[in-house]
Amino acid sequence: MPMVAGKVALVTGAGAGIGRATALKFAAEGAKVVVSDVNVEGGEETVAMIGKIGGEAIFVRADVSSSKEVEHLIIKTVEAYGRLDCACNNAGVEGKIAPLADQPDDNFDLIMGVNAKGTFLCLKAEIAQMLKNGGGVIVNLASVAGLIGFPGLSPYVASKHAVNGLTKNAALEYAKQGIRVNSICPGGIDTRMLDSLAEQSTGGAQSTHEMMDPLHPIGRIGTPEEVAELIVWLCSPRASFVTGANIPVDGGYVAQ
């Protein structure tokens, strides 16, 4: 039986990468999907891809750093499908690589605004709706940078540590009301974001795979689809005793 049959799932940042793979996996496992992104073209393309595999989805544009846009996103979700059962707060940005003393203030504000505040605002709105439903499941996208430090990425590291902290607190506050909240902490995953970080780090002297594959004990970076498998499992009844966890999916990176 499909893992999330009959459920309504929301995925932010679903216009590409992990978000797109997660939206497709939700659809393949029986959920109706609300695809959200600031990139309209990418989001609509994800909806079309879901349609091609026989799934059902709508696109709602939303900037997760705006409380009004997040609230509108939840309203449109309920208007379309009547409820919200599962949410994956995936939208995020990586920003610029530089030592902390050289980090521009606006880079910090951008990263914290999308990654930390955006997760906070989505949690607020999603939990409020799930309380009306009688429960639900939320998965936040953190990073191995939410577990350990990375020189040159202080704003990003701070934002992802914040995501893990918000996850733990929300899980504790709403466990008795039937809402589970977890975060996952991907290592290097084959996405545009990782390509950007590799380009900034090496100036194009090395490809993403040349730079990142050897850093992972498993010998390679991961795929968005591998991350999506974990996200949808966490949202399913199969993970009914899992809440408040910050789970690495990183090919052994943080075990080193």
60-103 pLDDT, tens digit per residue, is 999 999 999 999 999 999 999 999 999 999 999 988 999 999 99
166-210 pLDDT, tens digit per residue, is 999 999 999 999 999 999 999 999 888 888 887 888 787 788 898
- Determine which one of 81, 156, 174, 253 is catalytic: 156
104-119 pLDDT, tens digit per residue, is 999 999 999 999 999 9
Instruction: Extract the tokens encoding 224.
Output: 């968005």
Instruction: Extract the tokens encoding 202.
Output: 């090496």
Examine the residue annotation and report whether 156 is marked as an active-site residue of this protein. yes
Measured N-to-C along each axis, helices 67-81 and 118-133 cross at an angle, to the nearest 10 degrees, of 30
* Contact yes or no for 85/136 (Cβ under 8 A): yes
Distance CA 154, CA 82 (A): 40
- Position 208 scores a pLDDT of 85
Q: How many CA atoms lie within 13 A of 62 on its CB side?
A: 32
The CATH code for residues 8-187+230-250 is: 3.40.50.720
Domain map (residue ranges) of the chain: 8-187+230-250, 189-221
Round the average pLDDT of the chain to a whole number and report it: 96
